[in-house]
Amino acid sequence: MNSNASTTVSTGATAKSGVSRYAEAGVDIHKKYDAVERATAVIRSTFTAGVVGDVGLFGGLFDPARMGFGDALLVASTDGVGTKLDVAKRAGVYDTVGRDIVNHCIGDILVQGAWPLFFLDYIAVGKMDPPMVSDLIRGCAEACRDGGLALLGGETAEMPGLYAPGDFDLAGTIVGAVKRDKLLDGSRVRPGQVILGLRSSGLHTNGFSLARRVLFEELGLAIADRPRELGGQTVGEALLAVHRNYLPFLWPLLEANRIQALAHITGGGLVDNVPRVLGTCDAWIDRAAWEVPALFRFLCEKGDVGRDEAYQVFNMGIGMVAFIEERDLTAVQSELAARGEIGLVIGRTAAASGSEGVVRWTR
C-alpha cells in the first residue's frame, strides 16, 4: 500500500548482471517506496484522533469512539476518478484528481448524514513514476486533511503489461459514521418541501468520456487551448476544476436537523440521482433557476448534446441537492451565505404521479 507500506526495503538477490530480475520484468520496488517516502509526511498530517498506529502497518487501525462515534452506523463507499485521468495525463497535473476522488467520496456518504472518518486510496500504474504517484497521494492527503478525515491506507501497484507506461488508475474507499437518529435515507422527504441546489465547480468526475470526445476528438482542441466560450480558461483548467467538498457548508445544517434529504449529483445527473431519495414524491425542478456554466453550454452546443441528455450525463452546474422544509428556507440560506455558499431554490416536491418518484421539469 502506498501510505501503509513499510519503507524498509531489502536489497535481495539480483541477476548476474547486477540488475533485479523483477525490475527487468517491469516492476521497480525501489521506485515504489520512493513514491511512498515522498508522501509520508503529508499522509501523517491527515491523522486524526481516531488513528491508531502509524504509516507502515499491514492494515490501518481506527477507533471511531475517539471521534465521538462509539455507537453509530458505519457508512462506506468506493469509487474511481474515471476518464478524467486522461485529462490529468494530458496536462501533466496529478494532485487535482487526488483531491477529486476524496471529495467525491465525501459527498457520497455525506448524503446519508455521515461524517467521514478515514479514506483508503488505490493507485495502479504501468511504470512507476515516483513524482506522479507522490502527487496523486499528496492530492488525496491534502483533501483528507481539509475534510477532517485520515488517509489511513491504500495500495500502489505497478502492473506492466496490463497498463501501458504512463497509464494509471486512481480509486478510493471511504468510511464514515452517522449517529442513528441523524441517518438520512429518503424517508423524511414529503410533498411541499423546497429543493435547494448547491453549485458545482465544473464536471466534477462525471461525463468525461463525452467531454473528451467533443473537445479533443471532434473539435481537435489541445489541453492548453483557450476557446473564447470558456471565458479565458484553458481546456485543461476547465476540465480539471476540483470536485467540490460540500461538507463544510452542510454539516452544521445536518447537526441542526435542517436537512431532510441530500442527493449528490454524480453520474446520471439530476435525472438519476435525485430520485434515489424521493420515495413517493416527485421533484419538480426549474432548469431556469440557475445559470448553466459556460463549460456545459459549450459542450452541449459543440457536441450536439440534447437538453434532456445533458441533464442526465452532466451535473449542469448543480453538484448537490438538499431537501428542506419551507419554514427553514430563510435560516438555511442565511447559514449557507454565512459560509460563503449560495443555496439556490431550484424546485419543490409534490406527491408522485406514479408508483415511484421521478424528476419532472417545470421549464
pLDDT of residue 33: 67
145 CA to centre of own chain: 15
pLDDT of residue 3: 44
C-alpha span between 359 and 338 (Å, rounded): 30
pLDDT of residue 23: 75
Residue 327 confidence (pLDDT) above 90: yes
* CATH code given to domain 194-361: 3.90.650.10
Scan for cell 483557450, then name that residue: 226
Instruction: List, for residues 24-62, the tens digit of each pLDDT value.
Output: 777 777 776 676 777 788 888 889 989 998 877 778 889
Neighbours of 166 (CB within 10 A): 11
Neighbours of 286 (CB within 10 A): 16
- Contact between residue 315 and residue 241 where contact means Cβ atoms under 8 Å apart: no
Instruction: List, for residues 113-133, the tens digit of each pLDDT value.
Output: 999 999 999 999 999 999 999
Provide the strand spans (E) within 141-233: 150-158, 168-178, 194-199
Query: For the chain, what are the domain ranges?
Result: 21-182, 194-361
CATH topology of domain 21-182: 60s Ribosomal Protein L30; Chain: A; (3.30.1330)
Neighbours of 4 (CB within 10 A): 21
* Confidence class for position 15, pLDDT limits 50, 70, 90: low
Instruction: List, for residues 54-110, the tens digit of each pLDDT value.
Output: 877 778 889 999 999 999 999 999 999 999 999 999 999 999 999 999 999 999 999
Residue 5 confidence (pLDDT) above 70: no
Cα angle: 126, vertex 128, 133; to 5 degrees: 105
Provide the strand spans (E) within 8-92: 51-52, 61-62, 73-80
Among 39-43, 231-235, 324-328, 354-358, the range scoring the smallest mean pLDDT is: 39-43
pLDDT of residue 54: 83
The identity of residue 361, as a single letter, is W
* Confidence class for position 357, pLDDT limits 50, 70, 90: very high
Residue 8 confidence (pLDDT) above 70: no
Whether 194-361 and 21-182 are alike in CATH topology: the answer is no
pLDDT of residue 276: 96
For residue 288, the number of C-alpha atoms closer than 13 Å in the C-beta half-sphere is 2
Q: Which three cell numbers stand for residue 182?
A: 441523524
Instruction: List, for residues 141-182, the tens digit of each pLDDT value.
Output: 999 999 999 999 999 999 999 999 999 999 999 999 999 999
pLDDT of residue 317: 98
Instruction: List, for residues 210-260, the tens digit of each pLDDT value.
Output: 999 999 999 999 999 999 999 999 999 999 999 999 999 999 999 999 999
pLDDT of residue 32: 67
pLDDT of residue 4: 43
Residue 11 confidence (pLDDT) above 60: no
> β-strands 115-125, 318-324: how paired?
unpaired
Mean pLDDT of the 301-315 span: 97
Which range is most confident: 2-6, 33-37, 152-156, 332-336? 332-336
Q: What is the average pLDDT value for the chain, to the nearest integer?
A: 92
**3-state SS assignment for residue 201:** coil
pTM beyond 0.75: the answer is yes
pLDDT of residue 335: 97
All residues at 6 or more sequence positions from 298 whose CB lies less than 8 Å from its CB, including other chains:
227, 229, 230
Instruction: List, for residues 187-207, the tens digit of each pLDDT value.
Output: 999 999 999 999 999 999 999
Neighbours of 111 (CB within 10 A): 26
Candidates 362, 261, 271; CA nearest to 316 is: 271
Q: Sign of dihedral through CA atoms 206, 267, 111, 192?
A: positive
pLDDT of residue 43: 87
Mean pLDDT of the 323-335 span: 98
